[in-house]
Structure 1
Amino acid sequence: MDFDCGDSRFYKNDENENLICEILYSIEDSGIISIDSTFVNDDYRGQGIAAQLVDRVVEMARAENKKIIPICPFAKGIFERNSALYADVIK
């Protein structure tokens, strides 16, 4: 899924502009990215969309040579279960 980029978030709306999903992050002065929350509309859950959102933030971190602190419980779980995949970006 392709996500739109907004102010400290990646998201996707449906054709009626209803929010399908979003991930909110913040970038600290030190350049550390904090993943603050993920959301997927109930109608779209179970399709791996939240994991795709996390991966989108990881792509951004790698491109910008930044580290990530996953505050969001979902993102934290993804990082813990797949630590080898994210070793280069985890703070």
Structure 2
Amino acid sequence: MDVTDAPERRRYEGRIDGELAGIAEYRASDEVVTFVHTEVMPGFEGKGVGSTLVRAALDDVRAHGKKVRAVCPFVKGYVEKHSDEYGDLVA
């Protein structure tokens, strides 16, 4: 899956073979990226799309030196489950 930031739409997009498989919507400030909604498109559910998408998004936030606020329950749960890897990102 290819994950890219689409800042004009304020979301990360995950695509499989060019087809939109999932999105992670956010609001960003200079220091914090607040994830507000994650959605996996029908037909891609149950295939790890959400986890792959969120992992890539969190890695990108880290690469840009920002922190994360997880309003989205999926992102919040992912960060909590992988706190050893992503706990330091929490604003």
Q: TM-score, normalised by structure 1?
A: 0.83
Counterpart-to-counterpart distance in 1, 2:13 and 2:60: 14
Deviation string, structure 1 residues 13-70 (Cα, Å, up to 9, x no partner): 577x8642111111124x1110111110121111111111111221111111111011
1:83 partnered with 2:83? yes
Structure with bigger helix share is 2
Look up the SS of the partner of 1:86 in the other structure. Answer: helix
Structure with bigger strand share is 2
Q: TM-score, normalised by structure 2?
A: 0.83
Q: Unpaired segments of 5 or more residues in structure 1?
A: none
Identity value in percent: 28
The number of residue pairs the alignment matches comes to 89
Match of 2:13 in 1: 11
* RMSD between superposed Cα atoms in Å: 1.9
Runs of 4+, deviation exceeding 3 Å: 12-15
Counterpart-to-counterpart distance in 1, 2:56 and 2:49: 10
Q: Unpaired segments of 5 or more residues in structure 2?
A: none
Give the 3 Å change call, closer, same or farther, for CA 13–35 of structure 1 in structure 2: same
* Letter matched to residue 22 of structure 2: C
Give the 3 Å change call, closer, same or farther, for CA 14–69 of structure 1 in structure 2: same
1:65 partnered with 2:65? yes
Larger CA Rg, structure 1 vs 2: 1
Match of 2:44 in 1: 44
